[in-house]
């Protein structure tokens, strides 16, 4: 078990399995109604982990749409976020954490169990 600190932008207490990408553009990378990535993996009810998000305006709408269709991730953990994702996560009420350290990205992989806490602690079950 290893603990990391992120900056809660939308705080929440959730637990789930990681789905890991290097970067994510919600517009283009994710089907907004099914929650499936371009490579076939699903983000539905997962803890979505990415070093950074890339911006396209429509990304906020896609996050909102995922929530409406019940296909949203449980939480989004990022190294660096930008306004597009923040707006989407706030509107959809999806826990969002920013500023996760590089060490975290080095060891996290698909399927890892993650506990996200409202105070910013991210607990990775190894």
Partner 1 sequence: MHLTREEERILAGELGWAKARALEVIVKVGEAVGAEKLVKISHAHVSGASYMTIGEAGRRFLEELAKAGARVEVPTTVNPVSYDIEDPESIPYTRIDSKVLKGQQAIMKALESMGVKLTLTCTPYYLDELKRVVKQGEHVAWGESNAVAYANSVLGVWTNREGGPLALLAAIAGRTYYYGPHVPEWRRPVAAFRLSRYKPLDSAEAGVLGYIVAREHKSERPPLVDAWFGGEGPLKEFLAAIGTASNLAMAYIPGITPLEPGNEFEEVIDLSEEDLKREMERLAPPGKPEIIYIGCPHSSTHELRELLLALKSRGKPKVEIVVSISRGLFTKALKEGLVDALRSYRVRFIKDTCLIVSPFSKYGKDVVIATNSYKAYHYLSRKGVKVGIASIKDMVAMAL
Residues 66-85, one symbol each (x = binds partner 1 by CB under 8 A, - = not), give --x------------x-xx-
User: Parallel, antiparallel, or unpaired: how do β-strands 14-24 and 113-116 relate?
Assistant: antiparallel
- Check residue 91 for interaction with partner 1 (CB under 8 A): yes
To the nearest whole angstrom, how small is the minimum distance from the Cβ of residue 105 to partner 1? 19
Residue pair 7/34 in contact (Cβ under 8 Å)? The answer is no
Q: Exposure of 99 by Cβ count < 10 A (0-12 exposed, 13-18 middle, 19+ buried)? A: middle
Site residues for partner 1 per CB under 8 A: 7, 9-10, 32-33, 55, 57-58, 60-62, 64-65, 68, 81, 83-84, 86-88, 90-91, 98
């Amino acid at each position: 078990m290893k603990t990391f600190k992120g900056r809660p932008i939308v705080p929440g207490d959730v637990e789930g399995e990681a789905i890991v990408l290097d970067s994510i553009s919600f517009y283009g990378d994710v089907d907004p109604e099914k929650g499936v990535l371009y490579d076939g993996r699903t983000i539905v009810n997962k803890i979505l982990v990415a070093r950074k998000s890339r911006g396209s305006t429509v990304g906020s709408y896609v996050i909102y749409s995922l929530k409406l269709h019940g296909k949203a991730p449980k939480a989004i953990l990022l190294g660096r976020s930008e306004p597009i994702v923040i707006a989407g996560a706030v509107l959809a009420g999806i826990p969002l954490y920013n500023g996760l350290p590089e060490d975290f990205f080095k060891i996290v992989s698909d399927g890892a169990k993650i506990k996200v806490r409202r105070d910013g602690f991210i607990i990775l079950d190894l």
